[in-house]
Every structure is written in structure tokens, then in C-alpha cells.
Structure 1
Amino acid sequence: MSPHNAPRLESLGKVHFIGIGGVGMSAVARIMVARGVPVSGSDAKDLPVMADLAAAGARIAVGYAAVNLADAQTIVAGSAIREDNPELAAAREAGLPVLHRSQALAATMGDDTVVTVAGTHGKSTTTSMITVLLRAAGLDPSFAVGANIPAIGVNAAHGSTGIFVAEADESDGSFLNYRPRIEVVTNVEPDHLDYYGTAEAVYQSFDRFTALLPADGLLVACADDAGALALAERTKARGNTRVLLYGTSEASDIRLDDGGPGQVAVSTRDGARYGLSLQVPGRHNALNAAAAFAVALELGVDPATAADGLAHFSGASRRFELKGTVRGVRVFDDYAHHPTEVRAALTAARSVAGDHNVHVLFQPHLFSRTREFAAEFAEALNLADTALVLDIYPAREDPIPGVTSQLIADHLTGGGRLVGSEDAVRSLAEAAVDGDVVLTVGAGDVTAYGPRIVEALRA
């Protein structure tokens, strides 16, 4: 289904979500309920967000059964739902329309001014920054993000203004289902090759993404990233929309530079300069902030107000998130699952640790990604003083012969190695001393290790 014939919200009728407890699915359901759509949903487990949705007016079931569909007229199925799911099978048999989450979200956006954030890395953080900034500036956008925003307490909400800010996921091509007027592209690198097959196919998909922009639209792209810059140049060459660059290079329209100790600043083309007070560390987050600043200006926010608004952003869930401090050791968790993201997370950890040590526990995500980037992962992990690697988190993939975490461990230096679960927690708790930073990294269940390391440090 192309974005130009995506369904209208009013045409959906009663909507049933299969897998409603997922972070992306619950986001769409939450906004639909707020916009007056009759919503029902189910999930295999009784997740906390389901109680919130029930309190908002959704009909919720735990466990999958055909009877849960009741009188639903449109079905939204999560990406993890298998074809033999009893609810999906019943919906297909009944001839009900089955939408991808992104199609349902596109319908929810209606005629709002849509801001979509895409890129291989930084989508959730940048989308969250834009949302927090706009709210601080007195605008009240609707938003849907792939991670909880601690400063707001949710990952999605229906706003009172006609602005909709959404994370746009390129992993399965679903970012092509939206009708954006403003697009942010943080970076473009080969990833999700299990879906795309080749790097060239990734680049072509981003070209199709920018082609969605209308004549009065705007592409906001990072000049510091070769892939995003090349995309911007190709978009300019087509001549059908405006392009604005942000970054540290001379080519940037919104230029990021040093604002003094612990601060960064942005300069505009007219020479005006604004300091940004950021609560989140790392150059990558400063770049994300510059992108958010650019979007705010496009939406009519006063530059000084926009700069001040960024101070309200305290991070996104699982994006360099502090899990605890014990005996002077700070334990953070990060969702990084691509070598560039791992490098950015460890660079941020190094800036926080100062002269002290950084210890990382990394869990590779997907066999295919590990096969493609084993050496690059190791190169990034070698920035740490201690680098421990868990077995691969398979997610949606079956094992690939010969592909294990040992492919990464073989390239680690300084005693970096493959570890089991208990050994990982004990080793990190023993290695870390006052002032050190411990970082758990990956898109799988490695996030559960942070609290365990905190407890082990207390022992």
C-alpha cells in the first residue's frame, strides 16, 4: 500500500491490534484511542502498557484467540506476529484488511503537519528531542517514538496542535508509508541487509523516502554523515524540495560548534549563535540536538526558545540510560546494535568516565548483522578498557552455520573475550572501581544485565 492511498482514520472502523503490548503497536493504539477510534487488542503476555490502554478505553485481552477479534473491522498486526497466529488467521479468513503498524500510524496522522525522523542511528533520540523541545516551546504535538521518553513518561500521545512527530523505521521499508512535510535523516549506512540484501538497496530506499516530500517540504540532513550528505545532494539535484544541512562542517546551514566547557552551540546562516545546554553526553547527541533545533525553526519556534527547550530533554529509554550508581561506579544501558552506534555509546561513556575506566558488556543482535560487521564491532568495542561479549541474540533469525559471537571476540584486544551470563556480571562487578563506567550494549535482553550488575556491586 503506497502512502498516497493509505487509509483515512475515519474509514478504519473498529480497530483490533494483534500484539498491542509492543512499544510501537501500543503507541499507535494510544493515539487512536485518544482520537476517538474504538480500539481492542491482545498480546501473549500481560504487559504494563496494556493496563494503561484499558484505562484509556481500549478492550484488552491476554493471550491470542480468534474470539478476541469480536466485531473488529480493521486489523493491525505487529511485525513479530506469525501467519499461524489464530487471530491473524481468522482475520485473513474473514477478509478483513490487515495493516502494518506504519500504515495504521499513517492513517492516524490524518492531515497533520508530519515530521518524520529516519536514519540508521539516532531516530528515537532525535524524535524524542524534537517532541520535548516543541512541548517546552508551547506547542503540543502528537508523537510516536520507538522508546519511552522519561521527561514525558510515555512514548506516544495525542497533542492539541496539528503537528505530528514520528520515528520512521527503515529496517523493513515501512518508513515509505508516511506523508511527511519535514523529514530528518540522521545518517545513512548499510544495515538491515537481511531485508535489503545490498547497500545500494538501502540507499535507493532512502531516495524513495525523500521523494515523498511535497514541493513545500523540507529535508533536514546531517552534513557530518557521508551517507546523509550524499542523500541530501541527490535530493537537491532532483530539485523538488528544500534541503537544510546540520553539523560541524562548513556546508552546514545549522552549524554545531564548541560552546565552552560542557556546552555546545549552534550558529545559523545569518550569523546568530545560540548555546545549547544538554543533559545527554556525546557528540552524536549534540548533532541530534542540532537537528531538533532545525525542525523547531522550520515550525516557527523562536531560535532562543528552541535552544532553551533542549535543556528539558533528559534522554530516551535505553539510550545511554543510567541504571544505577554504586560505590562511585555508574552503570548505563544503551540500545546500540550497529558498529557506529556502539562506537558513539562508548565515546559518550569515555567522556563521562574522564580519566577512569570504561567496561562494556555487548550482546550482538542478529546472526546476519554479526556476520557482516564482526570486525567493525570489535574495533568499536576496543575503545573500552574491558570488553566482554555475550552470545548472539537471534531475534527473528535462525542460526547461520559458523556465525557466533566468537567472530567478534577474535578481534578484541586487551583481554576482551566471550563470556557467559554469570561470568559477565561477576567479572564486571569485580573490575569496576570508583569513578568507572559500566555500559551494557545491545538490542536484545542484555538490558536486563544492568540491574544485575548494580546488585552485584552492592554485594
Structure 2
Amino acid sequence: MTRTADLGRVHFIGIGGAGMSGIARILLARGAAVSGSDAKDSASVAQLREAGAQVWIGHHAENVDDVDTVVVSSAIRPNNPELQCARERGLRVLHRSEALASAMAQDTVVAVAGTHGKTTTTAMIAVVLRGAGLDPSFAVGGNVPALGVNAAAGSSGIFVAEADESDGSFLNYRPRIEVLTNAEPDHLDHYGTAEAVMAAFTAFIGLLPPEGLLVACADDEGALALAEQAEAAGKRVVGYGRAASARVRLIGTDLEFDGPTGRRSLPLELQVPGEHNALNAAAAFAVATELGVAPETALAGLAGFTGADRRFQLKGEASGVRVFDDYAHHPTELRAALAAARTVASGHRVLVLFQPHLFSRTREFATEFGQALGLADAAVVLDVFPAREDPIPGVDGGLITATDPALVFQPDREAAIALLAAQARPGDIVLTIGAGDVTEAGQALLLALRAAGTPAAGGGSHGG
């Protein structure tokens, strides 16, 4: 495996992205010369410049002059001028996961994988380890307020990394501890079939060394099946969840686990809502105690965890209505976010502005998205955020709303915001949900709510 010292001068195409900026920050901290380019300026770009990176706005072939290694993500298209130039010159081109693997080649690696919950679980582990006096390196797929950044180089020799399965790149890591939050079909644009998705997770578990540990959710059918495979292959496994078989078991609001003298139970207190976050916390607890953190210390760290950006993040309140933002972009994630919203709304209504992410995912899961949105009292669906994909004929947000007449398809974002602001009443929650630029709608919603001033009258409910 290539190590940081062997990379030479490293150039990141799309350096401002959440994953790319984090890896660039770690390489800078570990002494690498780093440059990069991005389509637009941003806070991430400014921070990287302050840390010593040279960053250009716009992609041009001359940006890779005097470069030894070029780093790309799956979002970078083959016709990108910098990537074309790098290949023509025979430069080393690494996927971002390979660059991250280089950065953690000498560390004890904790890799957090799963279809959902990776970012929050990775963030929880990093926060708990830091609170316990360890100084882990970490790379998280979103900014973590408690950590100040989404990635950093620590001094403890422990590296906590979010392992992205979307393009199979998580198979580039060599972890000693793996967390598997869940496993179900997604990213079929890459894998093609559900069987191929599960085969990739099986290969991921196969990366564990003989002394390694798999921490797997015992409540998830896919993760449980993979854990059973791992145990059959002689791997050490710790299950977590509410299942009776879980070694780290949630019972009510308590966490039961193995202590030196037998089973123990301590209260699990969290600031982040939802059953999915209780499961994420159980996984983080299992990892922390495996690394020598005292149970009480781990639980104290989890009690202080305030979340990661775009994970049920409060954007503000106006006219008695709270606006939250969430990154959910799969039907299971959507259901989990709406279940959490129900607990926070305390009997008031939950309104949703949802932006589907990827044409292929919208096509595959339109019915499931519609069913999940049925848990809201009102839901408006925007058009698809394409990300890395070209349009697919006949696929738009209306494919989802066609599954339920109570759902509204409104591709005009301003009109959608006005519609929700007019319906919202004091005490209600409005959620902007999706992995695209719907996150920008939060502030516009707050402005619209303030402008509306007075609560709307009437209005029915749906699915509540």
C-alpha cells in the first residue's frame, strides 16, 4: 500500500467536497504538499488555503503542472481536463479512498460501513475517543460541530474512517475494527443488483485480519447475515441492538454489556433523537470499549454528542416553527428521520420538503419513497438532484408523488417553500431532506415563515 510519504505533491480535483477536503486536510497535517481545484469557492476551500493548500477555482489542465499524484472521487467525469492531462502524462491517479488508505497505512483503522448511519456513527466514535483522552485521526463524511472539522490527523495511532460502499471503494481499506450498521440494496447504478451489493459487503468483512473485530447491528437482517458469515469464518463478532443475541444490548433507555464480572447495565443518554441514533451510539460504545475506554467514560462522551451537520440538524425557528435539515436519501433513512421528527414534534405536525438524489435511485425506489413520505403530515417533492448522473427519460420527482395523491410534486423550489410556509403552524416541524442542494432551502424557509408572520388556518393531515 502506498504511504503518504510516497505520494509526492498531491492534487485533488474537487478539493472542496466533504470527503475530498477531509483527506486533503489530513495529508497537509502529515506533511504532504497539497494543491487542488474546485468549481466554486467555499468555506472548505478557504480553510484548506489557510492550512497551506494551493487551490484554484475552475478546472484547467495547467493546474496539474508540477504534480506527482492526482486524487479524484467517483463524481469526477473522465472528460475533466485535469484528469485527462494527468492520464496523458502518466501521473499516478488515485481514487479518494486510495489516498485515504495511504494516509492511514500505519494506523489501527476503525472503518464504519453500512447503507445508513455511517457518518453519525463515525462521528460518535471520534467524539468519544477524543473525550476519553485519546487523540484519534478521523475522516467523517460531514462536519461535526463537537470536533470542529470533518477530518483531522491525531497522534494516537488510531484512525476512525467512514467507509463508503457506494462505488466499492471501501474495499481499499485495511481495518482492524469494522462497524456494520446495516446492509441493504442501494447504489444500484454502480452495483446493478442487490446480490452484488451484498457481495461487496461480504468482501469488506473478508478484509479483517485474524485479530480483528466486526461490530455489527443484530437488529438489521442484512448485517446479521453478514455477521453470521463472519463468525462461521472464525472472525470475532460483537453484535449490538435490541435483539436478545446482542452483546451490547439496548433495553429501554439502558445499555447492557459484558463487564469484568458479568453483565452490566448503565443508562444511555443522548441529545440526538431517534431509535437509529440509539443504535449508532451502541455501535460507538462497542468500539470505544474495545479500544480500552471505560464504559462510563464512553457513555459520558455519547451524552455530549450533539450530532453531525445535515443529520437532523436544527437550522432555526421562525413564527414558532422549527426547521431541521437531514441528509437522508434512501427510503430507510427517510423513515428513520421522520420517526425521529415525530418524537421531537411532540404531537405537532411534521412537514417535509424532499429532494430525490440520483435518477437511478428515484427510479428504483419511487414507491418506497412515497410510502416513507406518507409518515409526514404534508410532503412536497422537488425534482431529482442529478449529482453524477445524466437524466433518465421519464424519471423525475413526480414518479414519487404518483404513488400517493396526498404528496405534492413541485419542481420550483421557491413555490415549494411558499407552499410549506403557508401550511406551517406554531409547534410544527419542517424538514428539508435529501443529499443534494435542498439543504440551501432551510434559510429560505425561515425567511418565508417570518414573512408569513401569522399561522395558517385550517389544513388537514396525512399519515400522522
TM-score normalised by length of structure 1: 0.95
Q: Alpha-carbon deviation of 1:300?
A: 0.4
- Alignment partner of 1:265 is 2:260: no
SS of the residue corresponding to residue 82 of structure 1 reads: coil
1:188 aligns with 2:167: no
Secondary structure of 2:189's aligned partner: helix
Superposition pairs of residues 33-48 of structure 1, within 5 angstroms = 33-48=28-43
Partner of 2:141: 146
Q: 2:370 aligns with which of 370, 374, 378?
A: 378
Equivalent position of 1:279 in the other structure: 271
Contact 1:365 1:392 (8 Å CA) reproduced:
yes
Q: CA deviation at 1:433?
A: 0.9
Residue 16 of structure 1: CA displacement? 1.3
Which of 224, 238, 253 in structure 1 is aligned with 2:219? Answer: 224
Partner of 2:249: 255
The whole-number CA distance in structure 2 between the counterparts of 1:34 and 1:331 is 36
1:401 aligned residue (382, 393, 401): 393
Question: Does 2:130 match 1:135?
Answer: yes
Q: Measure, in 2, the Cα distance between the counterparts of 1:404 and 1:13.
A: 44
Any conservation in 1 of the 2:137–2:154 contact (CA below 8 Å)?
Answer: yes
Runs of 5+ consecutive residues of structure 1 not aligned to the other structure = 1-5, 259-263
Match of 2:340 in 1: 348
Choose 59-68 or 387-396, whichever is displaced more: 59-68
Tell me which residue corresponds to 1:50.
Answer: 45
1:334 maps to 2:334: no
Q: Deviations over 1:226-271 (max 9, x none)?
A: 00001101111111x201100001010000122xxxxx22101332
SS at match of 2:286: helix
2:300 maps to a residue whose letter is D
Question: How far apart, in 2, do the equivalents of 1:165 and 1:196 lie?
Answer: 26
Q: Distance in 2 between matches of 1:416 and 1:329?
A: 21
Per-residue CA deviations over 1:62-98 (Å, capped at 9, x if unaligned) read 2222222232111112322222222212211111110
SS at match of 2:31: coil
Who is 2:239 aligned against?
245
From 97, 101, 110, the equivalent of 2:96 is: 101
**Conservation of the 8 A alpha-carbon contact between 1:381 and 1:412:** no
Distance 1:265 1:451 in 2: 37
Matches of residues 352-371 of structure 1 in structure 2 within 5 Å?
A: 352-371=344-363
Q: Secondary structure at the match of 1:323?
A: strand
Does 312-321 or 99-108 show the bigger shift? 312-321
Give 2:239's aligned amino acid. Answer: L
Question: Quick one: distance in 2 between partners of 1:407 and 1:52?
Answer: 40
Q: Distance in 2 between matches of 1:342 and 1:155?
A: 23
Q: 2: CA distance between counterparts of 1:113 and 1:311?
A: 25
CA distance in 2 between partners of 1:34 and 1:225 (Å) = 38
Match of 2:198 among 191, 197, 203: 203
Alignment partner, residue 409 of structure 2: 418
Shift of 1:289: 0.3
Letter in 1 for 2:266: Y
Contact 2:15-2:36 at 8 Å conserved across structures: yes
Instruction: Output the aligned Cα RMSD.
Output: 1.1
Shift of 1:327: 2.1
Deviations 1:113-171 (A, max 9, x none): 10000000000010001111111111110000110001122100011110000000000
| In structure 1, C-alpha distance between the alignment counterparts of 2:135 and 2:304, rounded to whole Å | 15
Q: Is the 8 A contact 1:387 1:412 kept in 2?
A: no
Does the CA contact (< 8 Å) of 2:4 and 2:102 recur in 1? yes
Cα displacement (A) at 1:110 = 2.1
Determine if the alignment matches structure 1 residue 65 to structure 2 residue 56: no
Identity %: 65
SS in 1 for 2:383: coil
Q: 2:4 touches 2:30 (CA, 8 Å); kept in 1?
A: no
The alpha carbon displacement at 1:176 in A equals 0.2
Letter paired with 1:220: V
Q: What secondary structure does 1:98 align onto?
A: strand
1:170 counterpart letter in structure 2: E
Q: Distance in 2 between matches of 1:136 and 1:311?
A: 11
Aligned length: 447
Deviation at 1:402, TM superposition (A): 2.3
1:3 maps to which residue? none
Kindly state the Cα deviation for residue 411 of structure 1 after the two structures are TM-superposed: 2.0
Taking the aligned partners of 1:406 and 1:327, their CA distance within structure 2 comes to 30
Which secondary structure state, in structure 1, belongs to the residue aligned with residue 133 of structure 2? coil
CA-CA distance at 1:363 after TM superposition: 1.0
Could you tell which deviates more after superposition, 314-323 or 10-19? 10-19
How much does 1:183 deviate? 0.4
8 Å Cα contact 1:83-1:89 kept in structure 2 = yes
C-alpha distance in structure 2 between counterparts of 1:283 and 1:268, whole Å: 18
Moved more, 11-20 or 184-193: 11-20
Q: Could you tell me whether the CA contact under 8 Å between 2:75 and 2:387 is conserved in 1?
A: no
CA contact (8 A) 2:74 2:167 kept: no
Q: Structure 2: how far apart are the matches of 1:274 and 1:282?
A: 19
Q: CA deviation at 1:102?
A: 0.2
TM-score (norm 2): 0.94
Q: Distance in 1 between matches of 2:13 and 2:126?
A: 27
Q: Which moved more, 1:215-224 or 1:422-431?
A: 422-431
Q: 1:400 & 1:75 partners in 2: Cα distance?
A: 31
Is 1:155 paired with 2:150? yes
CA distance in 2, matches of 1:25, 1:392: 24
Structure 1's consecutive aligned runs of 4 or more residues displaced over 6 angstroms after TM superposition are none
* Cα distance in 2, alignment partners of residues 14 and 448 from structure 1: 34
- Equivalent in the alignment of 1:435: 427
CA distance in 2, matches of 1:109, 1:138: 20
2:75 maps to which of 53, 75, 80: 80
C-alpha distance in structure 1 between counterparts of 2:193 and 2:73, whole Å:
25
What amino acid maps onto 2:301 in structure 1? G
Give, as a single letter, the amino acid of the residue that structure 1 aligns with 2:407: G
